[in-house]
Amino acid sequence: MTKRTYPEAVQNCVRQCRRVARTALVVVTVFWIIFGIATGFQVEGGIGATFQSFTNLLPWLAIIVLWFVAWRWEILGGLLIIAFSIFMANYLGVFEGNSTEGMMIITPLAMTGFMFVFIGFRIWSAIRTEANQ
């Protein structure tokens, strides 16, 4: 394993920010997946109805894919999470003023996306500064 040459303070900042961003995204993902499954149980028919209401769960399963992308490539993953947040805000009618709940759903996702973008750019700038010295 190669030793990183950029300053220890940058390494600590990146390490802490990664931990917060990844944990926040896991919490948001698990919450919305459980919520999507629970809404399937509200429909009469038990377990079979849960599979019929798979459309409630499908958008939130996309977050798992985005989480894996953000884990490996912070900038790309963060931008995709932000784009997903904007898509979901449009889908839920937040821009038309129809859904306050939609805004509460989208805000944590967008904030997490911005954290990943910050981490990626912080690493990139530290490496670039080190290379220029």
Q: Is residue 2 part of a domain?
A: no
Sign of CA dihedral 63, 119, 95, 32: positive
| pLDDT digits 0-9 by tens, 27-42 | 878 887 787 777 766 6
Residue 128 has pLDDT above 60, yes or no: yes
pLDDT, average across residues 77-88: 84
Amino acid letter, 51: F
Q: Specify the pLDDT at position 86.
A: 82
Contact 95, 87 (CB under 8 A): no
Q: Is residue 1 part of a domain?
A: no
The count of domains in the chain is 1
How far apart (Å, rounded) are the C-alpha atoms in residues 112 and 108?
6
Q: Specify the pLDDT at position 45.
A: 60
Mean pLDDT of the chain: 75
According to DSSP, residue 5 is labeled -
Q: Is residue 79 part of a domain?
A: yes
Q: Is residue 52 part of a domain?
A: yes
Quick one: 73 exposed, middle or buried, by C-beta within 10 A (0-12, 13-18, 19+)?
A: middle
Amino acid letter, 120: G
How far apart (Å, rounded) are the C-alpha atoms in residues 13 and 1?
20
What pTM was estimated for this model as a whole? Answer: 0.69
Which range of residues forms the domain containing residue 56? 8-132
Percent of the chain clearing pLDDT 70 (strictly above) = 77
